[in-house]
Amino acid sequence: MGAKRSEVPTGDPRSLLKEAPDGRHFARLHSNPQALVEDVGTFVGAGLRRDNAVIVVASPASSIRYLNHLVLKGIDPQKSLESGQLIVRDGDELLGRFLRDGMPRWADFHAALGPVIQAAQAGKWLKIRVYGEMANDLWRAGHTAAAIRLEVYWNELASLYQFALLCCYALGEQDEASYADAIKEIGQTHPDV
């Protein structure tokens, strides 16, 4: 999962969220919180419907919003959680396990996330999808270097385990021109933005 750009599948611009090809690391930028919930819901819901394991790494408040969105779309997240198809982890807690002096450490990151990916691999699922918002949390807190390093570590983790990774960045309601630097930085670690 290098930072080589690739084309979004033709048709619906959200088709990448639905298809989530193995080995793809892509980012979505949002200025609207509801659009973020809908995109994560599309990614997670399509994965559950396609017999994929889905890992959500988000704050507890965000996870509740995403799970509630699944219910609105006719998906029973509790059933998916009980079967092991859906795995939800607290991103704040995980960040605390691998951030040292404000920067992610590879060994600690791998120790925190590797077993989660392995648990998904051990299931009967066809593929694995991961949604993570930890880099966004670091970015919004002004820790740009830590966010970029975390994205690099996700790419390294993807060289060890096969999965599709979605990262979403909430950019607020600023003028789109102010996003130019963010898009450039985020684009360095994501083949698809």
- E strands, 91-193, are 99-100, 103-104, 128-132, 164-170
Measure Cα distances from 61 to 36, 85, 124 in Å.
14, 21, 29
- Note the pLDDT of residue 27: 79
pLDDT in tens, 128-177: 999 999 998 998 888 888 988 999 999 999 999 999 999 888 776 444 44
Stretch 22-28: mean pLDDT: 81
**How do beta strands 128-132 and 103-104 pair?**
unpaired
The answer to whether the CB of 129 falls within 8 A of the CB of 55 is yes
The answer, yes or no, to whether residue 192 has pLDDT greater than 80, is no
The answer to whether the CB of 41 falls within 8 A of the CB of 69 is yes
The answer, yes or no, to whether residue 188 has pLDDT greater than 50, is yes
* Residue showing tokens 């996870």: 63
pLDDT in tens, 49-84: 999 999 999 999 999 999 999 999 999 999 999 999
In the chain, the domains with their CATH numbers are 26-171+183-187 (3.40.50.300)
- Note the pLDDT of residue 189: 52
From CA 61, how far away is CA 64, in angstroms rounded? 5
Nearest to 27 by CA among 115, 146, 156, 151: 151
Write the burial class of residue 6 (CB in 10 Å: 0-12 exposed, 13-18 middle, 19+ buried). Answer: exposed
| φ/ψ of residue 97, rounded to 5 | -85, -20
DSSP label at residue 9: P
